[in-house]
Amino acid sequence: MADIEKYKADINNYSLNNCRHGNQGYGRVLLQVFGLPGNGKSSFINSCKFALEGVFNEHAEAKKKQGGCTTRRVPYKLTDTIMMVDNRGCPTLNKYETGQIFAQLANLLPINDEVEWCEDYKKNLDRILEEDKKQNYSDFIVPIFVHSVNNRIPSQERDTYKLILKNARKITGINPIVVLTHKSYGGLIETRNTFEDMDSNKIYAIENYTIEDHQQVLGKHREILSFLSQILNEVNFGMEQKRDPKSERNDRMKFILGYLKDIDDEKNREAIREREEEIENLQKEKEKRSCPIL
C-alpha cells in the first residue's frame, strides 16, 4: 500500500517547475490518448482518474457503439498540471483519417468541439488555422496509443500502424507509449510482440475499470499509478534538454500542413489519372466504331 500512496503523492505534486531547466514555458502535461474506436481510450481515462482520486465515475463516456462513441476531443483534468485528452478514434486508417489523428495529436484541433474532418484540403486547413489563432503552445505532449488485445492487427495493416506510430513520434518527439487494454482476454503476448515488431519500446498491459466492473483492485490501482508515474519520468527526461515550446509548435504545424498537402496532391494526381484513362477508353471506343471488322 505504501507504494500506492507514494505514487499518488508523486503524481499529485508533480510540477514542471521542478524540471532541470524549470518549466521552459510549458504550463501543463497533455497526455494525448489516441487509437482506434472501441479500444478502451475513454475507459482508460476513467481508470486513471479512479486510481488517483479513489472514486469511480464515468467521466469519459465509454460504451460499445458502432462508429465510435467519443466524437469530440475532450480534456480531463488529472491534477493541476496533468491533463488527459480523449481524442476521437478513427474507424478506418485511410490517409484522411490518419491526417485527422495527427492533427489532434499535434494539438491543432480545438478541444471540446466535435472533431469535424473531411476530404476537403481547404476546409481542414481553415480549421487548423482558426485554432492556431489561440496560440496554444504551452502543452508538453505525451502520445499514448491505446489498443485492445481483443483487436488483432492483421499482417497487411501492420505497415499502416507502424507509420502512424512513427509519425506520432515525429510530431511529439516521443515514441508513443502503448497501453494494451483487455489484458486478461487472451492474446496479450502476441499483441505485445506485434507492437515490439513495430518498434514500440514502452508497452503497458492493463485491465481497465469499466462501468460493469469497477470493483477496486489493489493490483489494478498499482498498475495504473505506476504507469502514470513512469510517464512523468518520461516527461522529466524530455525536459532534461533545452526546448522551446513555440518552435516545437511551429514544427508540428509544418509537419501537419505538409502531410495534408501531400494527400491533396496525391488526390489530384489520382483524379488526373482517372480522367486520362477515361479519355483513352473513349478514344479506343471511337477507333473501334470508325474501323468496323470486315
Ligand X SMILES: Nc1nc2c(ncn2[C@@H]2O[C@H](COP(=O)(O)OP(=O)(O)OP(=O)(O)O)[C@@H](O)[C@H]2O)c(=O)[nH]1
Options 6-14, 33-41, 137-145, 160-168: segment touching ligand X (CB under 6 A): 33-41
Residue 27 and residue 194 in contact, taking contact as beta carbons nearer than 8 Å = no
The answer to whether residue 100 forms part of the interface with ligand X (CB under 6 A) is: no
| Contact pick of 11, 26, 42, 83 for ligand X (by CB under 6 A) | 42
What binding mask, one character per residue, do residues 230-269 give for ligand X by CB under 6 A, x or -? ----------------------------------------
Give the total of residues touching ligand X (CB under 6 A).
21
Shortest distance, position 65 Cβ to ligand X, whole Å: 6
Options 67-75, 101-109, 120-128, 152-160: segment touching Mg ion (CB under 5 A): 67-75
The answer to whether residue 175 forms part of the interface with ligand X (CB under 6 A) is: no
The answer to whether residue 49 forms part of the interface with ligand X (CB under 6 A) is: no
Options 70-78, 106-114, 144-152, 284-292: segment touching Mg ion (CB under 5 A): 70-78
Residue 63 touches which of ligand X, Mg ion, none (Cβ within 5-8 Å per kind): ligand X
Question: Which residue lies nearer to ligand X by CB, 32 or 42?
Answer: 42
Options 57-65, 153-161, 169-177, 233-241: segment touching ligand X (CB under 6 A): 57-65
Phi/psi at 198 (5° precision): -95, 25
| Contact pick of 98, 124, 172, 181 for ligand X (by CB under 6 A) | 181
**Cα gap 203→84, rounded to integer Å:** 18
| Contact pick of 16, 32, 39, 42 for Mg ion (by CB under 5 A) | 42
| Contact pick of 32, 39, 81, 124 for ligand X (by CB under 6 A) | 39
What binding mask, one character per residue, do residues 58-87 give for ligand X by CB under 6 A, x or -? ----xxxx--xxx-----------------
Question: Which residue lies nearer to ligand X by CB, 46 or 107?
Answer: 46
| Contact pick of 45, 69, 146, 239 for Mg ion (by CB under 5 A) | 69
Task: Kindly state the cell numbers that stand for 185.
Answer: 482476454
The answer to whether residue 43 forms part of the interface with ligand X (CB under 6 A) is: yes
Alpha carbon distances (Å) from 277 to 264, 274, 280, 283, 288:
20, 5, 5, 10, 17
Contacts of 16 (CB under 8 A, 6+ apart): 22, 23, 24, 26, 27, 28, 29, 81, 140, 235, 239
> For residue 186, is it left (φ>0), alpha (ψ between -120 and 50) or beta?
left
Neighbours of 3 (CB within 10 A): 11
Query: Which chain residues interact with Mg ion by CB under 5 A?
Result: 41-42, 69-70
